Amino acid sequence: MNNKVSLETQDQAAKVAKGTQKKGQTKDQTKLIAQGIEKGIAEYKKQQSKKSRERDKDRKQQVKQKQRAAEEVIEPAEAKSTNNLPWLLLVLSWLVFIAYFVLS
């Protein structure tokens, strides 16, 4: 366990164990308490990093959903403008055709 726990964590655990040391408590008992605190700190850090990864995943999914929604909004608007273009050109060409015969 000591290899997986950083020196900083070990120091913190030892300080807490010494701070809560009772009268008549042996060094071995204090050492066991410190090891328990180290395990608790390590478990807490694991949980926090797991939560952090989950938050990052959620944030990335939300960003992707927003991008998809934005793309869906843009695509129908483009489709409408391209659907109107052939009709506009047809009407314009007929108007020019009629104007040509009326003016000649």
Model confidence pLDDT, tens digit, residues 60-74 = 999 999 998 888 776
Q: Is residue 68 part of a domain?
A: yes
Task: Provide, rounded to the nearest whole percent, the portion of the chain with pLDDT above 70.
Answer: 88
Q: Is residue 2 part of a domain?
A: no
Is-contact 51 44, C-beta < 8 A? no
- DSSP SS3 for 25: coil
Q: What is the pLDDT of residues 14-43, one digit of tens each?
A: 888 888 888 888 889 989 999 999 999 989
Domain boundaries, position 74:
7-103
Pair of tokens at residue 74: 């843009």
Q: Is residue 89 part of a domain?
A: yes
39: exposed, middle or buried (Cβ count in 10 Å: 0-12, 13-18, 19+): middle
Above 50 in pLDDT, residue 1?
no
Looking at residue 82, its pLDDT comes to 61
Looking at residue 7, its pLDDT comes to 87
When divided into structural domains, the chain yields a total of 1
Q: Is residue 17 part of a domain?
A: yes
Phi and psi torsions of 13, nearest 5° = -65, -40
CA angle 53/57/58 to nearest 5° reads: 120
pTM to 2 decimal places: 0.55
